[in-house]
């Protein structure tokens, strides 16, 4: 009977032993951290602190009261964390240093686990939040805003390298090179983030397998999302919009495999989805609407399945650069389909060929786009329908739907 009481006593003493150390403007945050022991809270009161180079090497909570401002004045990194189970919450960080030698960040996590970066505002920083060799860490409800110049002198909003089991959710990232960048990151989740006006990509995967991103919004970036040299990625319920430019995409896929792209919306992008060297991807229940090209799929893609997607009001539904067809289209809705349904089963009686001759010409000669909507283009399109010769005859949907898929 004495054993449970003894264990409970130790638990209470341990928790009662944790203390809160308060820091007021004019005092050193680093000195308060140095005085703290594991489990303590360092409470930083409202005000402005011109401090940087703060090191956290023990498990504690660094808590801001009424969003205190930590300003590095362009001199270096603000906080570097090298201990497990650290929480950084409720601060405004600004003006880290910038250098081509070191990736200075507002908050950097090095070789640590279970670190949480929550409810912070980061502005005018080189990198916002940076994870390196970190596991089971969280970045949630942070707003990260940069002033983008050229790509070489702008860091990423949230950067992760060689990490596992990360969770990024409800963050807003604007004005960086990539909004969120993942390299050698696995088993991680990105949810409900908003990435806008980033120079390169809203979200960028490199060699990062077995990850999921869902319910995110990517607007007005160089490209919404780029997934490269990666496998087993689940992409669901995301919104890609207004990613316009000569080389802009809603979603760029390069050398990826065995993934799912489902229930997403691609709206008003130069190209909704661009695929190169990609295989065994299931694309279903997506809506591609008002894009220049809904889908550009290169001839080196194979074994991909497109089914039950809506193609609405796109200039080109599908474009490709070759005659080889190794992918399958089935039961999609195409608003340009002009077939019939005599048995009224909801499926068109004649196949739909989504690649137009003009799309093939533009794929080879981009300058040909200037003739869009011209009489000559309409004439050659109608001729190709009657005597098809150049478009890939096997790239077709043999069972096009008569009504859009409801979501």
pTM: 0.88
Residues 6+ apart with CB under 8 A from 30: 51, 53, 54, 55
In this predicted structure, what is the pLDDT of residue 391? 65
Does some domain include residue 272? Answer: yes
Please name the residue that has the structure tokens 């945050």. 29
Cβ distance 276 to 255 under 8 Å? yes
Residue 358: Cβ-neighbour burial (10 angstroms; 0-12, 13-18, 19+): buried
pLDDT for 150 equals 67
Hey, which of 33-47, 145-159, 245-259 has the most confident mean pLDDT? 33-47
292, 271 Cβ separation under 8 angstroms: yes
Give the CATH number for residue 339. 2.160.20.10
167 occurs within a structural domain:
yes
Domain of residue 132, residue span: 20-390
End-to-end, the C-alpha distance of the chain in Å comes to 59
Query: How many CB atoms sit inside 10 A of residue 37's CB?
Result: 12
Flag whether 406 is in a domain.
no
Identify the pLDDT of residue 371: 60
**Per-residue pLDDT tens over the stretch 190-247:** 999 999 999 999 999 999 999 999 999 999 998 999 999 999 999 999 999 999 887 7
- Percentage, residues of the chain above pLDDT 70: 86
Q: Is the pLDDT of residue 46 over 60?
A: yes
The residue assigned the tokens 């390299």 is 183
Residue 401 lies in a domain: no
Q: Report residue 399 as tokens.
A: 């069972």
In a domain, 213, yes or no: yes
Number of domains in the chain: 1
pLDDT tens digits along 246-292: 778 999 999 999 999 999 999 999 999 999 999 999 999 999 999 99
Least confident of 90-99, 136-145, 180-189, 321-330: 321-330
Assigned domain for 278 exists: yes
pLDDT of residue 4: 43
355 occurs within a structural domain: yes
Tokens representing residue 334 in the block:
């195409």
How far is 93 from 109, CA to CA, in rounded Å?
Answer: 15
pLDDT tens column, 297-355: 999 999 999 999 999 999 999 998 877 778 999 999 999 898 999 999 999 999 998 88
CA distance 70 to 54: 10
Residue 275 lies in a domain: yes
- CA 66, chain centre distance (Å): 30
**pLDDT exceeding 90 applies to what percent of the chain?**
76
């Amino acid at each position: 009977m004495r054993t449970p009481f003894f264990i409970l006593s130790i638990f209470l003493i341990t928790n009662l032993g944790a203390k809160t150390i308060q820091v007021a403007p004019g005092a050193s945050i680093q000195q308060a951290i140095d005085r703290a022991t594991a489990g303590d809270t360092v409470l930083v009161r409202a005000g402005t602190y011109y401090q940087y180079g703060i090191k956290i090497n023990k498990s504690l909570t660094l808590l801001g009261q009424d969003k205190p401002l930590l300003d590095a004045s362009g001199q270096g990194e603000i906080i570097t964390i090298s201990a497990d189970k650290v929480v950084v919450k409720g601060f405004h960080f600004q003006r880290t240093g910038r250098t081509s030698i070191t990736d200075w960040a507002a908050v950097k996590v090095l070789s640590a686990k279970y670190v949480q970066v929550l409810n912070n505002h980061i502005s005018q920083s080189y990198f916002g939040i940076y994870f390196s060799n970190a596991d089971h860490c969280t970045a949630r409800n942070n707003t990260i805003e940069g002033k983008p110049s050229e790509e070489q002198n702008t860091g990423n909003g949230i950067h992760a390298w060689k990490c596992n089991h990360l969770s990024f959710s409800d963050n807003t990232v604007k004005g960086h090179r990539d909004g969120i960048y993942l390299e050698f990151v696995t088993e991680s989740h990105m949810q409900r983030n908003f990435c806008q006006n980033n120079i390169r990509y809203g979200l960028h995967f490199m060699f990062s397998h077995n990850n999921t991103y869902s319910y995110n919004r990517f607007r007005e970036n160089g490209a919404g999302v780029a997934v490269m040299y990666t496998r087993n990625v689940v992409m669901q319920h995301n919104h890609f919009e207004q990613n316009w430019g000569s080389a802009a995409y809603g979603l760029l896929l390069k050398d990826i495999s065995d993934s799912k792209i489902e229930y997403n919306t691609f709206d008003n992008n130069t190209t909704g989805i661009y695929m190169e060297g990609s295989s065994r991807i299931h694309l279903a229940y997506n809506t591609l609407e008002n894009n220049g090209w809904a889908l550009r799929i290169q001839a080196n893609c194979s074994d991909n399945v497109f089914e039950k997607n809506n193609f609405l009001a796109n200039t080109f539904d599908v474009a490709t650069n070759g005659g080889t067809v190794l992918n399958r289209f089935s039961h999609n809705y195409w608003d340009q389909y002009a077939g019939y349904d005599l048995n009224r089963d909801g499926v068109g009686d004649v196949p739909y060929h989504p690649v137009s001759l003009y799309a093939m010409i533009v794929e080879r000669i981009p300058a040909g786009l200037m003739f869009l909507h011209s009489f000559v283009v309409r004439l050659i399109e109608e001729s190709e329908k009657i005597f098809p010769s150049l478009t890939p005859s096997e790239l077709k949907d043999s069972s096009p739907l008569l009504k859009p898929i409801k979501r």
